[in-house]
Amino acid sequence: MLAYLDAASGSLIIQAIVAGAAGAAVFFKLGWRRITSPFRRRTATAEVGEQRDER
């Protein structure tokens, strides 16, 4: 889905804050989803052998 550039999650999430009031709503919703969807987090870390490089 992404173009060639290696994107960092923190740099994507912060934009919800930079975008202002409407973005803040997204940011909080994001946090809510993370809390209420533990399965999503488990799926992400269950990928064996795929290490994310240290920045």
Partner 1 sequence: MSDLELEPASFRDPASTVAYLDGRVLRGLTKEGAEDFGALSAASFFEPAMTEGRLVRTTEVPLEDLPQSVRGDAWVLALEHERIPFVTYPYEWTFSMLKDAALVHLDLLLAALGADLTMKDGYAYNLAFVGARPVFIDVGSFERVRPGEPWAGYRQFCQTILYPLLLQAHKDIRFQPWLRGQVQGIQPQELARLFSGTDRLRSGVLKHVTLHGAMDQRYSGSRAQDTQKELKAAGFSTELQKATVAAIRKLVSKLEWSRSASEWKDYQHTSTYTDTERQLKAAFVERALEGRGTRLLFDLGGNDGTYSRVAARHADYVVCADGDDLCLDGLYRALKHEGNAQILPAYLDLSDPSPALGWRGRERAGFFDRARPDAVLALALLHHLAITGNVPLAELVDWLHGLGARLVVEFVDPTDPMADRLLANKPAGMHGDYRREVFERLLEARFDVVEREEFPSGTRTLYHATPRRTP
Residues that bind partner 1 (CB under 8 A): 1-20, 22-23, 25-27, 29-30, 33-34, 40, 44, 52, 54-55
Q: 4, 12 in Cβ contact below 8 A?
A: no
Question: What is the closest distance, in whole angstroms, from the C-beta atom of residue 9 to partner 1 in the complex?
Answer: 4
Instruction: Kindly tell me which of 26 and 38 has the beta carbon lying closer to partner 1.
Output: 26
Q: 12, 5 in Cβ contact below 8 A?
A: no
Question: What is the closest distance, in whole angstroms, from the C-beta atom of residue 15 to partner 1 in the complex?
Answer: 4
Q: 34, 41 in Cβ contact below 8 A?
A: yes
